[in-house]
Amino acid sequence: MGTQKSQYLKRIAVYPGTFDPITYGHIDVIKRALLLCDKLIIAVAKRREKAPLFSLKERVELAKNSLKELPNIEVEGFDGLLISFVRKKKANIIIRGLRAISDFDYEFQMALTNRKIAPDVETVFFLPAEEYSYVSSSLVKEIAALGGDTSKFVPPPVVKALKKKFKK
């Protein structure tokens, strides 16, 4: 019998987003994604055109603090083309969350475009648990801006940061 090498391909996934701020919906997708990969990189996009409430540095820190109990996770900010970041990280999976049918059109277009650019990178879509399917960062920011309780939608470090941002 010859020497046969068993090659194990490490499954490295990237979950990109603005995460302004990270919500329990995002964390639900992250927990589901961890079941399919060996390492999950949370890629916090700079996205100047979205005029985020929190700076890139703040969003990275909020994600790190909110995810510190979960294994095999890295959180990193990035600016530029997602596929370039995925290649730099030697990842082979992109994770995307779908809340509603309205998300699907955009995500489908992006997945096909990314497949054309990088055919070796797969996009995997996750549906959040029903209790988070309507939660968005925009909704959370609106609740916080109006003095509402955001603790059912975001982890404690984010609740604290939102209160600080919207101090009246």
Is pLDDT of 165 > 60? yes
pLDDT given at position 159: 97
Q: Active site residue: 59, 66, 96, 137, which one?
A: 137
Digit-coded pLDDT (tens) for 76-129:
999 999 999 999 999 999 999 988 777 788 888 999 999 999 999 999 999 888
Known catalytic membership, residue 84: no
- The predicted structure's pLDDT at residue 21: 97
Catalytic residue among 99, 115, 133, 165: 99
Q: Band the pLDDT of 168: cuts 50, 70, 90.
A: low
- Check residue 8 and give its pLDDT: 56
First CA to last CA distance, the chain: 75
Q: Which of 67-71, 101-105, 131-135 has the highest mean predicted lDDT (pLDDT)?
A: 67-71
Asked if CATH classification 2.30.30.140 holds for the domain at 12-165, the reply, yes or no, is no
99 is catalytic: yes
- Tell me, yes or no, if 50 is annotated catalytic: yes
Of residues 10, 50, 57, 152, which has the active-site annotation?
50
